[in-house]
Amino acid sequence: MPLANCCAPSAGVAGPQYSRLELSLSEEENTMTRRNNQALKRWWPNEAGAVRDDSAYREEHARAPEATKPAANASHGNRFHTPQRIWRIRSLVVLVLLGLLAVLTGVSPATALKGGSESTQKYPFMGSFQPAYPAPPRADGHGCGVMVLAPQWVLTASHCAGKNPTMSKAGIPQGWKVRVGSADTTSGGEVAEVDHFYRLAIEKGGLWGRDLALLHLSTPVKAQPVKIASNTPAENTSTRILGWGMTCDDSNNASCFPSRLREADTAIQPRSACSKAAPGELCVGALDGSVAATNMDSGGPALVQEGDQWVVAGVLSGPGGDNTPVLYTDVSKHAAWINGIITGTNVPADDPAPNVEGAAELPGCAGSVVRGPASRPEDPAMMLTNGHCVKGDRPAPGKALTDQPADFDVPVANPQGYPQATARANRLIYATMTGTDVALYRLDKSYAQLAQENAKVFELSSTPARAGDSLTIAYTSRRFACTAEAVVTKLREGGYEQNDSIRYAPGKDCNPYPGTSGSALLAPDGLTVMGINNTHNRDGEQCTENNPCEVANDGTVTAVKGRAYGQQINTVTACLTSGSKLELTGQGCTLTGAATLTPDPAKNPTPPATTPPPAPGTPPAPGTAPGSSVTNPADHTASPASETTPDPSKSSSTAAVASTADQRRQDLAATGFERVGLITAALGLLALGIVLWAIKRPRRLQ
């Protein structure tokens, strides 16, 4: 549940940032390189959002993921995102992202192609990669640079193509396009759809020095291609760099994203000038970093001259260190791989893509659209995720959040991971991290509307998961095949406790990592949600944040590094009613905040607390005040917020009191109006007197 590493997108970041800084924050195969771990703490936002430090965990398990998100949560947040994700710890995400930008561009505010200017020459081979999903955080849609190598082939960085939902090495994208032959990202040139991608390498296999990808276009373009350098350029060779990178560090500021191509002249430096350089990389830029590429220049070229023409020597990969040149992949070393694909003589097979249908990508977390036994087609659809994934403040120990506003997109994945449908969460119905770890949101689309869009909707189980059950963790980029090893009576983490938690049996196919929080635990039928993935023990500590421990009935505490857990959701099902409402006072509802005892007026004469009125058009959640924090009765720190049933024997007296109160209000109002009328009349007479005096008084000669 990763209290410190999940899930709110920063206020200053919207959507994934396309640079090597976040390049694999969403990639499952990303094992965090040593140089990036040493230079700066990598944060994995799970596509976009909240922040999670996942480097140690992922290195330990030797597996590869995003983005800002999610790195960004990313927890993981690499993308949504976020959630998130990057959906909490906003200020932390801002600091992290600004820190990442500082590593790339230096301490002072970045300028696109630092030290450069708007391009004055034409580069017909230069283009902008503009994927619809995950969408870059800028209005023009630019994510990375590309170069035309042949009528239907463009070259970019692998980490740019790595932003496909399942992080495949080769496959068929959806909604990707390029604009080539124009210095403007929004107009001119030619626009072509991308129908295939091939990545030279992914993080798990060693990305640095091999950060290249080829994108195949569905239709040929007429733009003049650029040639690949015949060999590695020597040190101190003059080079020209191009790109549409950010001109300042605020991704919420539209002026930070130039739509006009920029260029800068610099040189190839000794590899020793870039402390993070790997074999196969070029160190490009001014030694002090004053002339260099910036964030979202990724995939763009380092050009050198051969004869009277420009050729591509390098493709931008990422930062080279603090206030140093930046790193480009040496293209000449991979000419055979490029030519083999373009000529069709050595084309890699597509990766087998996992079926991730129904997963919803959130900033730093995952979610899924669910229905309960009482749900009707016309009811607003609901989205399930973890309580620790909510935006803003998380629920306090022993408490729940109910009926609060929400406003974010929920993309529901098709089998390939691209959005089949997108709804918008407009209300947080309920969230808690006590007893279980769940959050339930209401969406702006009904189940019938989602069915018309062929979006996958899961069914909430009314029975708990048991030891020995086969469970599938339905994450946004893959599925984890797990088995419930045990049901833990009490799980404790950072001041929170959950009951009947699901401990997974260890296995190579059951290795959830930060950013997978909120993923549904599916029964073998692939439709029924038995639980929700939420935490693992990261460091082997006992009961601290990110280190859950098991507490036996006799008080014995057990904590095992690497153990992962999910939470039951059948307690949620028991509280749901038609209309996508949660009835905490309903019979059988045992969620945190539910009313478990009926108060006896004779023994408890204290009147119930007054409930504030709901926002206009917002019905209050049953038994709770809108936007309230509901206390768990087991804490004995506050009584549950529940509606009081009126006593018929007191109805007449209550009506009399109400009538008297209404009459007094009317009397006071009448008296007030009378006083206001007298005062107004007096002021009017005074004003009239002043006007008459001004008219009649002698005028002084000018």
pLDDT in tens, 458-492: 999 999 999 999 999 999 999 999 999 999 999 99
Strands 262-269 and 238-243: antiparallel
Cα→Cα distances 323→22, 294, 326, Å: 19, 12, 9
Q: Is the CB of residue 621 less than 8 Å from the CB of residue 576? A: no
CB-CB neighbours of 610 under 10 Å:
7
Q: SS3 of 673, please?
A: helix
For CA atoms 675, 681, 683, 686, the dihedral sign is: negative
Beta bridge partners of 522: 472, 529
| Residue 449 host element (H or E) | helix 447-452
Between 319 and 244, the higher pLDDT residue: 244
Burial class, 46, CB count within 10 angstroms (exposed 0-12 / middle 13-18 / buried 19+) = buried
Point out the least confidently predicted range of 112-116, 168-172, 605-609, 698-702: 698-702
Preceding peptide of 2 cis, ω within 30°: no
Q: Which two tokens stand for residue 520?
A: 């549904």
Give the other-Cβ count within 10 Å of 31's Cβ. Answer: 23
Cβ-in-10-Å burial (0-12, 13-18, 19+) of 439 comes to: buried
Query: In the numeric block, which tokens belong to residue 312?
Result: 């591509």
Q: What residues have CB less than 8 Å from 27, skipping those under 6 apart?
A: 64, 65, 66, 78, 162, 167, 202, 203
d(CA 256, CA 68): 17
In angstroms, the first-to-last Cα distance of the chain is 81
Note the pLDDT tens digit of each residue in 407-451.
Answer: 999 999 999 999 999 999 999 999 999 999 999 999 999 999 999
117-126 burial, b for 16+ CB within 10 Å, e for fewer? eebeeebbbb
Read off the pLDDT of each residue in 678-694 and give the average, rounded to a whole number: 52
Cα of 690 vs its chain's centroid, Å? 65
pLDDT, tens digit, 9 for 90 and up, residues 641-669: 333 333 333 333 333 333 333 343 333 33
User: What integer is the mean pLDDT of 13-42?
Assistant: 32
Q: How far apart are CA 131 and CA 419, in angstroms?
A: 13
pTM for this prediction: 0.70
Confidence band (pLDDT; 50, 70, 90) for 51? Answer: very low
Amino acid identity, residue 369?
V
Chain-centre distance for alpha carbon 88:
10
199-241 pLDDT, tens digit each: 999 877 789 999 999 999 999 999 999 999 999 999 999 999 9
What mean pLDDT comes out for the span 550-577? 96
Tokens of 540: 């082997």
Rounded Cα distance between 620 and 250, Å, is: 38
Q: Give the dihedral sign, CA 106/110/113/116.
A: negative
Q: Residue 684 has what pLDDT? A: 56
Residue from 562, 520, 243 nearest 385 by CA = 520
- Split at pLDDT 50, 70, 90, the class of 24 is very low
**Of the candidates 363, 522, 506, the residue with the CA atom closest to the CA atom of residue 458:** 522
Report d(CA 625, CA 342) in Å as an integer: 63
Question: pLDDT, tens digit, for every residue of 70-129?
Answer: 333 333 333 223 333 323 332 333 333 333 333 333 322 223 577 789 998 999 999 999
Residue with tokens 């920063």: 10
Short-list 319, 314, 284, CA closest to 116: 284
DSSP assignments along 4-33, one per residue = TT-----TT--S---STTTTTTT-TT----
As a whole number of angstroms, the distance between CA 313 and CA 306 comes to: 10
pLDDT score recorded for residue 675: 40
Spatial CA neighbour of 531 closest among 504, 557, 553: 504
**Cα atoms found within 13 Å of the Cα of residue 64, Cβ hemisphere only:** 19
Q: What is the CA radius of gyration of the chain?
A: 30
Q: What pLDDT does 430 receive? A: 97
Q: Which residue has the higher pLDDT, 577 or 610?
A: 577
